[in-house]
Copies of this chain bind each other. A is one copy, B any other.
Amino acid sequence: MQADITSLQLFMLQMVELEDAAWDDMLQRLQHRRYKKKDVFIKEGKICRELAFVLKGSFRYYKTIDGIEVTTFFSFEHYWISAYTSFLTHLPSFITVEAMEDAEVVVLNYDDMQYLYDHYVSFERFGRLMAEYLVTCLDERMHSLLLKTPEERYLKTLNDNRIYFERVPQHYIASYLGIAPESLSRIRKRVMQKVIS
């Protein structure tokens, strides 16, 4: 396990000076877990009590509406997964998070997170910086949905998150962008024509 979590250590050290004691204490509390493609991390309607760092593979967030899965987010290696609002509020999650590919993660539960916040100032700071980073992502996403055209959203995602177009089926990307699959096909065609001409 030790080798695997180097990416987590690097991720955290980029953000805070985490003293050895904090890191060692966190290590004791981490639970290593594997997911097969389509396995569920958290199901809509359940209260999410865990946060996980993705070591390998990817996850998809979605809500089922009238029998159709509407995709809202993706997480890949070296990023976190959680129904974070449910995790923070203890209310039922309004989304499902499931493995989009076979995956490996390390999990921290809510009580351990609070313990680490209480005992290590560096961990408290890490929590603040993580939440602030998430604010910037969600703020940009919300403004993009309110202010940008579907084509602008497509081009921005193509630019900022090329990995989506390499590892995510196209119909998942359409609902992530808030557009119908056939609109995404039209946009792709139009953008390709602009590139060619």
Interface residues, chain A, with chain B CB atoms under 8 Å away: 63, 65, 70, 72, 84-85, 88-89, 94-95, 117, 121, 124-125, 127-128, 131-132, 134-136, 138-143, 145-147, 175, 178
Closest Cβ of chain B to A91, distance in Å, is 9
Q: Could you say which residues of chain B place their CB within 8 Å of the CB of A88?
A: 132, 135-136
What's the dominant secondary structure at chain A's contact region?
Answer: helix
Residue in chain B with minimal CB distance to A131 = B131
Contact between B85 and A146, CB atoms less than 8 A apart = no
Closest Cβ of chain B to A113, distance in Å, is 11
Q: Could you say which residues of chain B place their CB within 8 Å of the CB of A121?
A: 121, 124
Q: Can you list 8 residue pairs at the A/B interface with Cβ under 8 Å?
A: A63-B143, A63-B147, A72-B147, A84-B135, A84-B136, A88-B135, A127-B132, A128-B128
Residue in chain B with minimal CB distance to A175 = B146
Q: Among the interface residues A121, A131, A178, which one has the most CB atoms of the partner chain B within 10 A?
A: A131
Q: A145-B178, A175-B146 are in contact. Are A131 and B135 (CB under 8 A)?
A: yes
